[in-house]
Structure 1
């Protein structure tokens, strides 16, 4: 261990920052958040530092060169200049007076390192690479940020508020630890994080005073949108819930890469559907979610795209609501938005489309029951989910109801993933163009003149090693 990690109280303590450029401004801002009284010394002061001083009376600026007399009474010193001789002088002087010093980007001159900070006050986490790679530390911080909800600090204050009451009512200490683990990872915490803070506090107080064991039986269902495939498109909340779930009930369209992010010891139940091949009927899925929650389990219902856009999420939570089971819904990036973006096809554009319509292309009795007159109107974008089998009928119907035969249309297969394919054409020729192309679901169709922008705006290029036409095979 090259550095001993610790947290230092700087409230109302005198700290010195030598330098007043943009890097110094960031350090001053951090010290100000910690409540320090900050002296800034530099021959020239940047606009950013001037603005910080204007907004904080605890920042005092001295426009001059650093001298060794400036370090008296300082609790901590940071040197952030671009002059090697000044940095060395600051470090040597601080070291001679046993004052902790940090010289930005010069680990050899530092007695302490400023870490990358995850601030959920009063809870704090700090990450450091020991000065070897600040960028690496920031990347690790970003990963931790995604796992720690913004409300985590307020939750910590709530725990502090009831700490004495828990100690008074729950013994022995081992039981208190188990109690807090269940509170901070269970339904009470999720109520808090979803904005129901008063209800969460009421349930916490009731649990402390009456029956801590009731927490064992309070299951919950999280209806989570997994997005179109790229795991980087998951929301922070989705990832957090996936990593604390006891059971994950997932669809065919949830990519393997995303499924690998769930808690490793979680039970995984596959309920995917394909055309004319449903592994479990929808009604059975609804009841499965309810049963698992009643068993006291935290259940993630993981769905491709967004649960409320052709995801039948409404049907699932209706069953949960009817049976008084706690649930929350986490939106995901729907396939229309994700696939269009990765294909370089804007869904709306001032010169092409002033509206966008999402429809499902499922066939019944070899027909698609859609409002063809409305869909054939110009000046809009049409996005068709689940339209691969009925593409020929869809294109023919649009032309019959007034759409021009050369209206651009794009097929996007496995959009946002390394297996993404984009094939463009027109209403009149795309069905024939796709023959013998080995096209497999999941696919999405975008219709409208916005498709003509694809060649100029495409930016995402799948790795050639993975750019295949193989089926997506879900984990089962």
Structure 2
């Protein structure tokens, strides 16, 4: 990775690249990517692009071929926060807030779940059973709640415990506004757990996007009962 510049901005980028394991070199070295931390970066960017190098110009999104996200690292869990170059400060603040939420044990939880894949499959042979069991375990307040510091044997204890009753049946959610932020915590949790949604045709996509990506979405005036699992009837409280 080519790095051009001196001063605080360049030093910060050097620390970031070194921490990520990058080999930092000068402008004349062979590389595919470059970061330019100069007050007047236009000429340097033009020279690098002429060589086919992709460039990130600090604080100049109009000159960037790529951007660098803010990273929350709980190895092997990585969370990247990007704004497309709109505001590095916003990405940094969001990273700091997310880091404060996530305990140091999160990476160990991921490793333990990976190591227990065989035991999880034997405990819940059907794919839908496994999904519901894992969703419930990782839900807020669950035995594997990822934002709660966990003991090293938490996954083993979860596997040895009796099954929790999975939510089932028909739940009616009446929307108060088209803003997904107006959903209650319970409503948002149910949307994340449901197997299918019967929704009024005018329910906004922003609300439907809060459901599981693989949940069935059916535009209908009235729900269709009788299907197993958790079904949500999504409509309006004032219509």
SS of equivalent residue, structure 1 residue 26? helix
SS of equivalent residue, structure 1 residue 130? coil
Q: Counterpart of 2:152?
A: 197
Q: Counterpart of 2:94?
A: 140
1:150 and 1:133 map into 2 onto residues whose CA distance is 27
2:118 and 2:47 map into 1 onto residues whose CA distance is 46
Q: Could you say if the C-alpha distance between residues 164 and 111 of structure 1 is closer, same or farther in structure 2, counting changes exceeding 3 Å?
A: farther
Q: Counterpart of 1:109?
A: 63
> What runs of 5+ residues in structure 2 fail to find an aligned partner?
167-181, 189-239
**Conservation of the 8 A alpha-carbon contact between 2:45 and 2:63:** yes
1:134 and 1:21 map into 2 onto residues whose CA distance is 18
1:113 and 1:192 map into 2 onto residues whose CA distance is 28
1:27 and 1:137 map into 2 onto residues whose CA distance is 15
Q: Counterpart of 1:130?
A: 84
1:191 and 1:113 map into 2 onto residues whose CA distance is 29
Shift of 1:123: 1.4
Q: Could you say if the C-alpha distance between residues 167 and 32 of structure 1 is closer, same or farther in structure 2, counting changes exceeding 3 Å?
A: farther
Q: Counterpart of 2:115?
A: 161
2:135 and 2:37 map into 1 onto residues whose CA distance is 42
1:96 and 1:168 map into 2 onto residues whose CA distance is 57
Shift of 1:175: 2.1
Structure 1 vs Structure 2 CA RMSD? 3.2
Q: Could you say if the C-alpha distance between residues 100 and 175 of structure 1 is closer, same or farther in structure 2, counting changes exceeding 3 Å?
A: farther
Shift of 1:196: 2.1
Shift of 1:110: 0.7
Q: Counterpart of 1:179?
A: 133
Q: Could you say if the C-alpha distance between residues 135 and 191 of structure 1 is closer, same or farther in structure 2, counting changes exceeding 3 Å?
A: closer
SS of equivalent residue, structure 2 residue 78? strand
SS of equivalent residue, structure 1 residue 36? coil
SS of equivalent residue, structure 2 residue 53? coil
Q: Could you say if the C-alpha distance between residues 117 and 38 of structure 1 is closer, same or farther in structure 2, counting changes exceeding 3 Å?
A: same
**Conservation of the 8 A alpha-carbon contact between 2:144 and 2:150:** no
Shift of 1:182: 2.0
1:97 and 1:165 map into 2 onto residues whose CA distance is 52
Shift of 1:94: 3.6
SS of equivalent residue, structure 2 residue 56? strand
Q: TM-score, normalised by structure 2?
A: 0.59
Counterparts in 2 of 1:262-281, with a 5 A limit? 263=185, 265=187
2:99 and 2:107 map into 1 onto residues whose CA distance is 13
**Conservation of the 8 A alpha-carbon contact between 1:191 and 1:197:** no
2:150 and 2:79 map into 1 onto residues whose CA distance is 23
**Conservation of the 8 A alpha-carbon contact between 2:54 and 2:66:** yes
Q: Counterpart of 2:17?
A: 31
**Aligned residue among 35, 47, 55 for 1:78:** 35
Q: Could you say if the C-alpha distance between residues 101 and 162 of structure 1 is closer, same or farther in structure 2, counting changes exceeding 3 Å?
A: farther
SS of equivalent residue, structure 2 residue 24? strand
> What runs of 5+ residues in structure 1 fail to find an aligned partner?
1-14, 42-65, 218-259, 267-476
2:94 and 2:146 map into 1 onto residues whose CA distance is 28
Counterparts in 2 of 1:191-340, with a 5 A limit? 193-198=148-153, 200-206=154-160, 214-216=163-165, 263=185, 265=187
Q: TM-score, normalised by structure 1?
A: 0.32
Q: Could you say if the C-alpha distance between residues 99 and 191 of structure 1 is closer, same or farther in structure 2, counting changes exceeding 3 Å?
A: closer
